[in-house]
Structure formats: structure tokens, C-alpha cells
Amino acid sequence: MLIQDHLLLTRAEPSGNGGLQFLYRIGSYGIACVSRPKEDVTQINWEADVIKFKNEATVQYDLCHTTALANKTLTFRNDKTMNEFLSRAFEHFKELQQA
């Protein structure tokens, strides 16, 4: 199970291909985590993107592959490694807010 800190939204994966999406937010940055359905349970994983929200009033965002955290979509094989990345990301976003 993914951590609940800074969780903004949990929803069905918006592209319509099935799966779940978790959106996390700290200030104007966040993480979008997606788990898509797989035929084999051993292939289940999380894909994560750093995102930048367009404004404070909505959940509209753009992918942000220009941060120190990630320059592409990242794949995590289990909840533990996904949670470790989320914790690092939250600290990074807090530092960005203070700068």
C-alpha cells in the first residue's frame, strides 16, 4: 500500500486502460503514480512521473521531466520502493518551496 501523506486524489487511471492513479501534491509539484493491470501478478509495478500543477485551484498538471528527481517516467517493482521514492520526492518539493 502506498503512503497517504500528501495524497490529493485516487482515481481510475484516466487513459481508460484500467488500473489506478494516485496523485500526490506539495505546493505546485507532485507525483503521479499509476499501476496498470497485468496478466501476470508478478509483473505488477508502479510507474511514477514528477508533475507540475497548472494552478492551485485544479488538479490539471503537466509532466515535469526536468527536475533533479527524474528526467523520465520511473518504474518501481513494489510498494516499498515506490514509497521510498515518494518520501524523497516530498523532501525535495519542500526544499523547492522554501527556496
Phi and psi, residue 48, nearest 5°: -130, 140
Q: Is the entire prediction scored with pTM above 0.85?
A: yes
Judge whether residue 83 has pLDDT over 90. yes
In a domain, 51, yes or no: yes
Residues 2-54: pLDDT tens digits? 999 999 999 998 888 888 999 999 999 999 999 988 777 667 799 999 999 99
Residue 82 lies in a domain: yes
Does the residue 50 lie in any domain? yes
Domain that holds residue 53: 7-98
DSSP codes joined into one string, 27-70: TTEEEEEEE---SSGGG--EEEEEEEES-TTS--EEE---SSS-
Is 1 part of any domain? no
Q: Does a structural domain hold residue 2? A: no
pLDDT tens digit string along 46-78? 999 999 999 988 899 999 999 888 999 999 999
Q: For the chain, how many structural domains are there in total?
A: 1
pLDDT of 80 higher than 90? yes
pLDDT above 90: residue 82: yes
